[in-house]
Amino acid sequence: MRKDFSEVIEYSRHALDMIATKDMPQEKRDEFTNEVVENFEQYVNPGQLEYRKSAATNYKSIEWIDEEDGFYDLNGRKYIDWLGGFGVFNHGHRHPKVIEAVRNQLDKQALGSAELLDGNRSMLARLLAEMTPGDLQFSFFTSSGTESVECAMKMAMMATDRHYFITATKDFHGKTLGALSLTGKGVYRKPFIPMLQGIRHVPFGDFDYLKKTVESMAYIGELPAAMIFEPIEGEIGVIIPPDDYFPKIRALCDEYDILLIADEVQTGMGRTGKVFAVDHWGVAPDILCLAKAMGGGVMPLSATVCTKRCYEKYMFGNPWMHSTTTGGNPLACAAGIAGINVLLEEDLPRQAREKGEYFMEKLAVLQEKYKELLVEVRGKGLLIAMEFCDDAKGYQVVTEMFGKGVLLSGTETNAHVIRIEPPLTISYEHIDEGLARLDESLKAVYEKMK
């Protein structure tokens, strides 16, 4: 039975009023908090409520206002952001240059007609071709990391006329069915098995195992279209490979004519102290997947950047072999262009490298102080992991930090390893303030262990 649309119109007006509101009295804040909680319970996901309740101890920490150096919740409490949207806010929150570019574009046009040529898309594609390693030339734009991986898989299949892939057991590549076939987490895979066939998962960092897998696949006539790896495994806990791992992979791919896909959705755009993580090892992939920080922390934007070989066989003749209606729209591309400008003009990779070294030095002192609790610290740039003695203790530290106004989170399945992934623009003041609160949090959890 059709609903009464007058109620929908009335609530939409209320929602628009809330979007326009920047401040409200306490009574209204409480009312809106209850409204949001009820909406999540009824229309979003009650499981998210339970997670947030246990992490934040209440439901009142509703995101409300972003500022360049952090954000405030509905009640006006400011947070030091050590999470960075899991890699979205490399450029900080609401970087003025990115905001200005989006507003300028919005004054002219938001979405494109999909028939006329889009100037922003062309300029962003040129920038990516000029800044990415090797012979990467053509870009296909979408809105999320998973979409960029799906596109990369199709590119590899079309370029090679093969249909198998090699990836790492603990890699994370997304949750749509193709990308999920690559993702190495059983908890997400089991409900959807069987998925795309012919995927081989190998231990990350073990080149001998990988080489034997390729030799076996070659012998039985099932060479893969591509190997796809995160240069540094992020979701599983910032696992950094040996320095010779990716150069060896590149050579192995060349030997067997296998494409190499670098999933830099999280590690790209300066996060690890280089523009792209593969730059640490001087490796050029055939396909590069980007997302998260691609939109400058303001717009959803992802890109799959590839060599001419990966495009010309099918996409030149039929450019609609893979398509999207709103991917690479003028607003998103404006944000992407501004984001690249900020990335390079403000030298965010250098900032990540220097601040990461500062972080690691301070964390090493805390690790020694609480070594029964905090068993290891590792990282590259501002992609840092704190590994705890067990999941429960890690979660207690996250909860303590949240209560002290520092945003952290475990992985999607546990808090055994906690990532520190702040904006690359984070101030040393916020690093030091956060470290002081981390010391207090570790002490509180450590004393309960005695």
Exposure string over 15-40, b if 16+ CB within 10 A, otherwise e: eeeeeeeeeeeeeebeebbeebbeeb
User: Is pLDDT above 90 for 266?
Assistant: yes
Which token pair is 84?
């960075």
Whether 140 contacts 153, CB under 8 Å: no
d(CA 140, CA 142): 7
Dihedral in degrees, nearest 10, Cα atoms 419, 424, 429, 433: -10
For residue range 19-58, what is the model confidence (pLDDT) as tens digits? Answer: 888 888 888 888 888 888 888 788 878 777 665 544 544 5
d(CA 68, CA 321): 40
d(CA 405, CA 77): 8
For residue range 287-330, what is the model confidence (pLDDT) as tens digits? Answer: 999 999 999 999 999 999 999 999 888 788 888 888 898 999 99
**What is the pTM (predicted TM-score) of this model?**
0.93
For residue range 321-362, what is the model confidence (pLDDT) as tens digits? Answer: 888 989 999 999 999 999 999 999 999 999 999 999 999 999
| Look-up of token digits 């717009």 | 299
List C-alpha distances in Å: 420 to 83, 200, 203, 338, 427. Answer: 6, 30, 24, 25, 14
